[in-house]
Amino acid sequence: MSLCWENLLTSHVSLFNADTAARASFSRAAPASTGESSEMSGRGRARAAQSTDARRAKSPACPAATRAKDREDPSPRTAHKGKGSASEPERGPRRKREEVDGGGGGASARAGPRPKPEPNRASPGGKPAREETDPSRILLETLEKLKIKKQHRAEAAATINEVVDMIEKFMEEETECFRQMVTLRTGSAYENVKINEPDEFDVMFAVPVYRTRVQQFGDGSAFCSAHVDRERRTRPYSQFVQEDGTISACDMLNHFRELVKVAVKDLDSLEVKKGCPAVTLQIMKSDMEFPISLDIVLGLEVHSSSWPSFTKDGCKIEKWLGSKVKRDFKFKPFYLVPKYEVCCFSTDAWRISFSHVEKDILKNHGKVKTCCEKQGVQCCRKACLKLLKHLLHTLKERHQKELSEFSSYLAKTVLLHACSSRVDDNYWATANLSHCFQMLLEDFEKYLKSGSLPNFFIPSHNLLASGYSRRSCEHLADFIAEQRNNGFPIFSGSSQ
């Protein structure tokens, strides 16, 4: 079943500023930040003495069948910094949030000696590979093209911080149910695996919840319900707790969306689009070279002594990153986001997300801790992911009809599985880029042909089980094989 973008439950707010007054307009809309530095340093801001919900918008009815938006990542992009705790603290000042990283980094596949060109392989159809092709050279040149300019990254980060800060301030001062929200950032922009331009950001506003029981819907899904104990129903989010003790994803999401719209209403030239589960702000200023898309995503930050039982066979990183790292991950909170896809189990469900762990893993991805540090050995894991995402993106552009539904989250999952089964850093040495990328593509083809790609954290959940037709999976596998066997003509702009 393919996802239908038109039916998505998202508010799309487009912001087009005609002149450089745009920055000033942001400041006008966030008076508490006035006088502070242009960096949105809302952290030192005093809390409002008393919150009011006077501007709270009424929640619209929950749609019967929420169709979802398939973003790059089906999980929310979270960037959680704090440690989890099973005990609920007294209500206090909002926790320090993590700023958008204006700097850049990430492994570069340029480091290390250039590997020898590999012999080309025959294509599935027996077509001989082109002799003049040097996959390594093409891959390295492609990576160079995909690099994001530091200046672009910094400008985008400043813009995003400004808007996020405005929403944070509004939620903190003007609402009761969302005043303790924590902002979390992950996704490719924060994992240094974003390609081309820093034009897509995702920020989750997560409500901390404690002593919450998470129950999976059926076997093999990432969907679940969240139950709170009777005595906990006096929490700030209690208005969303239903008779049976479950927190209503629909009600909370609808209310949140309306509040976000109010929070950014003073920004110039807003266009509110109907449809998606997140609130998407599209920001275009005259001094920007490209528009930035910012998804504001609602979430629950679940504080528990461990992850739910249905994740127990997942996240196999013991032989790669170590048992201690895994244990530490399990002490951290995990996140639930309102379901974005069609869920056959319930019209009101949450989906579990480990994007904060994914971010940690991608940042600290070596068996040796110093992997890709300045003084350490450089590897090609991130380079492989960038190339895989780029290949998928480019194939999707070229074959829109057949491949439109494929998410780059699949690429990330393929890499995580590959890293967890090929744990040696030497395997991923930069000199092996071409070989590693070839292997990664062969992995992907196998998953696609079998129609089964297990969720890295929930092995019983097949990411290809819904939303992807068998036929489109086979198409993608064939397209990838064709590129792999012919020296990636698509990267060099060849017509093949």
What are the tokens at 173?
């001062």
Name the pairing type of β-strands 279-284 and 292-303.
Answer: antiparallel
Residue closer to Zn ion, measured from CB, 230 or 374: 374
Minimum distance from residue 439 beta carbon to Zn ion (Å): 16
Q: How far apart are CA 132 and CA 135, in angstroms?
A: 10
66: helix, strand or coil:
coil
Number of H helices, E strands in the chain: 12, 10
Minimum distance from residue 382 beta carbon to Zn ion (Å): 7
67: helix, strand or coil:
strand
- Residue carrying the six token digits 């904060």: 356
Residue closer to Zn ion, measured from CB, 91 or 369: 369
Q: Are 199 and 191 in contact (CB under 8 A)?
A: no
Residue closer to Zn ion, measured from CB, 74 or 366: 366
Minimum distance from residue 434 beta carbon to Zn ion (Å): 17
Minimum distance from residue 184 beta carbon to Zn ion (Å): 24
Minimum distance from residue 491 beta carbon to Zn ion (Å): 22
- Going from the C-alpha of 402 to that of each of 111, 223, 277, 478, the distances in angstroms are 36, 27, 25, 12
Q: Residue 438 — φ and ψ, nearest 5°?
A: -60, -45
Residue closer to Zn ion, measured from CB, 3 or 433: 433
280 forms bridges with which residues in the sheet? 12, 295
Name the pairing type of β-strands 11-16 and 279-284.
Answer: parallel
Residue closer to Zn ion, measured from CB, 154 or 371: 371
Minimum distance from residue 304 beta carbon to Zn ion (Å): 31
Q: What share of the chain is helix, strand, coil (3-state, %, to 5)?
A: 35, 15, 50
Q: Are 177 and 237 in contact (CB under 8 A)?
A: yes
Name the pairing type of β-strands 292-303 and 334-338.
Answer: antiparallel
Minimum distance from residue 281 beta carbon to Zn ion (Å): 33
* Rounded to 5°, angle at Cα 14 from 256 and 42: 55
Following DSSP, what letter does each residue of 412-430 receive, concatenated?
Answer: HHHHHHHHHHS--GGGGBG
145: helix, strand or coil:
helix
Minimum distance from residue 380 beta carbon to Zn ion (Å): 8
Residue closer to Zn ion, measured from CB, 171 or 388: 388
Residue closer to Zn ion, measured from CB, 366 or 467: 366
Q: Are 138 and 387 in contact (CB under 8 A)?
A: no
Q: How far apart are CA 477 and CA 471, in angstroms?
A: 10
Task: Please give the biggest Cα pair distance in the chain.
Answer: 73
User: What residues line the site for Zn ion (CB under 5 A)?
Assistant: 366, 371-372, 379
Residue closer to Zn ion, measured from CB, 270 or 371: 371
Minimum distance from residue 349 beta carbon to Zn ion (Å): 37
Residue closer to Zn ion, measured from CB, 193 or 264: 193
Task: Provide the 8-state DSSP code for 246.
Answer: B
Q: Are 295 and 71 in contact (CB under 8 A)?
A: yes
Minimum distance from residue 316 beta carbon to Zn ion (Å): 19
Residue closer to Zn ion, measured from CB, 252 or 372: 372
Following DSSP, what letter does each residue of 309-364 receive, concatenated?
Answer: GGGTT----TTTT-HHHHHHHHHS-EEEEE--S--SS-SS-EEEE-HHHHHHHHHS
Residue closer to Zn ion, measured from CB, 171 or 379: 379
Minimum distance from residue 200 beta carbon to Zn ion (Å): 24
Q: Are 372 and 378 in contact (CB under 8 A)?
A: yes
Minimum distance from residue 344 beta carbon to Zn ion (Å): 40
One-letter amino acid for residue 219 of the chain: D
- Going from the C-alpha of 364 to that of each of 60, 191, 360, 418, the distances in angstroms are 42, 10, 6, 15
Residue closer to Zn ion, measured from CB, 156 or 372: 372
